[in-house]
Amino acid sequence: MASHNPHRVYISTTARSNQYLLAEFKPDAAFYQQFSSHEACYQQLAQQLFALLPQYDLRNVQLIANDKLPVVRFHQEAYTLQTEKQILFFYNPKYHEGQGIFSQPDYQARKIRVVFLATGEELRSQAAAFHSKVVQCLQAWQQQLPGTPALKLRDHQQLSYDLFAKTKGHKESYGYKLRGLYPRYKARHCALPDEHSELTYVTVTLPLTRQLKQQWLAAGAIDFSPLYQQLQQRFVEACAGKKLDRLAIVANGLTPVVRSSKWDQIEQNRELQKISFNPDCTESQLLTFWQTDKLVESAHFIIVADKDDNTEFGYGRFMNQVEDALRSFARQLEIPAERQDLIVRFYQHISYILPAA
């Protein structure tokens, strides 16, 4: 069906949408001196922010003052899980609301972050309106902050679905154009600054099953490079000839975080592997992160769009190429589509500075 319109990608109606905006700034010593303690600082900032939310109909907002990275996922139950480096927010936008403060006793945050989680239905069609409300709220909050600091603002949107949904009997699909955020917001009268950074990419997480391990690893092996080399070779081959040449493989046990090289560089900590891409660069890029002596439970495969993939119609053609590549990859690995999920996550990010009020 998708072949009749190459600018639309047909995705199962079981797909899930998420959107959140992340605002952050770095408080300096002078900022903290305006409060009796950093704990009092976080409480006052949160009170000021939360008092503004009803005016802008923002229903799920969290203030983070412990320097942990927020990760957002769809879930039928609402709960929050903290690790050393991350805060994972699980929620269903249709039902779940809330507000909270995340801080640690005797810890002064290097960054203060605010996460605005989208709520309601039809998140993609309402994304521009949600973005506008968040910006208005932040501008009002800025006026109350000491020194009215500039804020870095990131809009994260995600569409996730099982590549094998149709094989499992979910026949109904919807045709997406997947327009870029900047033209989509402009068409809905949500003004974004000319100076911004936009990044679009796809991730797939592949469990390293017993079948994959037995296929390429000898019994009792302590050198796992044959497995990783085979996965890398087949992934690159599946993407070849489809104009998909900004790739990454993360199989070192860390969670990949994909960012624009305009803001962030490649680095890692005990939980996160930060990967930086320049979507305006014309050169191909292959980044690999795995260790010969470390066998992990799953591998992450990443395909990043370049500026030419964002046509006047959107990213539909790009996603058709991505799906073709991933299906070829899955066939090479003999993944049983009836029994195993292969979750595709299509991400759109846009970042810019909200200047000092």
**What's the rounded Cα separation, in Å, for the pair 98 and 210?**
41
pTM across the whole model: 0.93
Query: Residue for token digits 């599946």?
Result: 238
* Cα distances (angstroms) measured from residue 215 to each of 211, 229, 313: 6, 13, 42
Please check whether residue 155 is in contact with residue 19, taking contact to mean a CB–CB distance below 8 angstroms: yes
Please check whether residue 268 is in contact with residue 254, taking contact to mean a CB–CB distance below 8 angstroms: yes
CA-nearest of 142, 139, 115 to 58 is 115
**What's the rounded Cα separation, in Å, for the pair 201 and 157?**
11
DSSP state of 307: G
**Per the structure block, which two tokens stand in for 6?**
């190459």
**Per the structure block, which two tokens stand in for 248?**
């990454």
**What's the rounded Cα separation, in Å, for the pair 60 and 122?**
16
DSSP state of 275: E
Please check whether residue 233 is in contact with residue 329, taking contact to mean a CB–CB distance below 8 angstroms: no
CB contact set of 183 (below 8 Å; sequence gap of 6+): none
pLDDT 10s per residue in the chain (357 long)? 444 678 899 999 999 999 999 999 999 999 999 999 999 999 999 999 999 999 999 999 999 999 999 999 999 999 999 999 999 999 999 999 999 999 999 999 999 999 999 999 889 999 999 999 999 999 999 999 999 999 999 999 999 999 999 999 999 999 999 999 999 999 999 989 999 999 999 999 999 999 999 999 998 899 999 999 999 999 999 999 898 999 999 999 999 999 887 666 778 888 999 998 887 777 889 999 999 999 999 999 999 999 889 888 999 999 999 999 999 999 999 999 999 999 999 999 999 999 986
Q: Label residues 283-314 b or e (16+ Cβ within 10 Å = b).
A: eeeebbbbeeeebbeebbbbbbbbeebbeeeb
**What's the rounded Cα separation, in Å, for the pair 52 and 46?**
10
CA-nearest of 19, 154, 15, 119 to 73 is 19
Element (H, E) at 305: none
> For position 357, what pLDDT does the model report?
66
Please check whether residue 318 is in contact with residue 309, taking contact to mean a CB–CB distance below 8 angstroms: yes
Task: Work out the widest C-alpha separation in the chain, in whole angstroms.
Answer: 64
| Other Cβ atoms closer than 10 A to 41 | 22
**Is 65 exposed, middle or buried (CB count within 10 Å of its CB: 0-12, 13-18, 19+)?**
buried
> For position 1, what pLDDT does the model report?
40
Q: Where are the alpha helices (DSSP H) in 143-250?
A: 181-187, 210-216, 225-239
> For position 263, what pLDDT does the model report?
63
Phi/psi for 314 (5° steps) reads 125, -155
